[in-house]
Amino acid sequence: MTASEEKFTRQRLLAVETLTPSLFTLRTTRDAGFRFQAGQFARLGVRKPSGSLVWRAYSMVSAPHDEFLDFFSVVVPDGEFTSELRRLGPGDELLVERQPYGYLTLDRFADGRDLWLLATGTGVAPFLSILQDFEVWQRFERIVLVYSVREARELAYQDLINGFARRDYLAEHAHKLTYLPTITREQRPGALHGRITTLLETGELERAAGLPLSPEHSRIMLCGNPQMIEDTRLLLKARDLQLSLTRRPGQVAVENYW
């Protein structure tokens, strides 16, 4: 084994599911020694026909206790990585770095009563991992998952999200979750219509959740389109909800996912 090979493990794809022409999900085997916190990401590698490796970062959708790894991917037109990843199928090799990364984890917040998870597109991935870990249900009284997409068909993992209430270990906690799917380019029953920033500005997001945002009680995670994150951060800052830093605890944690 070379020094570089010591940094990753060779895993096998177990399943690939196409959601839309530009979105697909992956499930791989998991090395027994790979450990991560809910909300973290891994660097995945694919081998090109030339033999060279291409690497990209992907948040785990799966829970820290699962025996497999789940990932959610968008096809980047002419993208070096996704063009190679897209041609793979069950049984093919995928490399996973041994070291997980990222700080979009619950330990960013020292306290808080209500947790808001605001995601666009594939940025929902780390939040699904967090919601499958028991810690979040113990720590917070209310959890609001806001999942924004352009079209309804882009809403992934709906069975997983709607199935939290049926999990035995969440029997006493599932009532804490409010799920708010949000669609920007079409209107559908049961979903909000509009961008997250617009829904924040009008107050519709808080009305739909039945919960106000406040510096005292709210802790907010943002993941997705960098522009959404920047615009949302400004809106929250205007309401005295500040970015949580090591030197200065706050109410907001972010991760660009693009």
Q: What are the sequence ranges of the domains in the chain?
A: 5-97, 106-256
Measure the CA–CA gap between 16 and 70, rounded to whole angstroms.
Answer: 10
Quote the percentage of the chain above a pLDDT of 70: 97
**Selecting from 3.40.50.2030, 3.90.226.10, 3.40.50.80, 3.30.40.10, what CATH number does the domain 106-256 have?**
3.40.50.80
**Which contacts of 232-240 are long-range, i.e. CB under 8 A and separated by 24 or more positions?**
232/118, 232/196, 232/197, 232/200, 235/197, 235/200, 235/201, 236/200, 239/213, 239/215, 240/215
Q: What is the DSSP letter of 162?
A: H
pLDDT tens digits for range 74-98:
998 888 999 899 889 999 999 999 9
Q: Kindly give, in sequence order, each residue whose CB lies less than 8 Å from that of residue 243, ignoring residues fewer than 6 positions away.
A: 233, 237, 250, 252, 253, 254
Q: What's the pLDDT score for residue 1?
A: 47
Give the residue ranges of the chain where pLDDT is below 50. 1, 3
Domain 5-97: CATH superfamily is Translation factors (2.40.30.10)
Please tell me the distance from the alpha carbon of residue 13 to that of residue 25, in angstroms, as a whole number: 11
Note the pLDDT of residue 162: 94
190 Rama class: left (phi>0) / alpha (psi -120 to 50) / beta: left
The answer to whether residues 246 and 255 touch, using CB atoms and an 8 Å cutoff, is: no
Single out the residue of 104, 154, 103, 158 nearest to residue 127, CA to CA. Answer: 104
Do the beta carbons of residue 95 and residue 46 sit within 8 Å? yes
- The model carries a pTM of 0.95
Cα atoms found within 13 Å of the Cα of residue 230, Cβ hemisphere only: 3
**pLDDT of 3:** 42
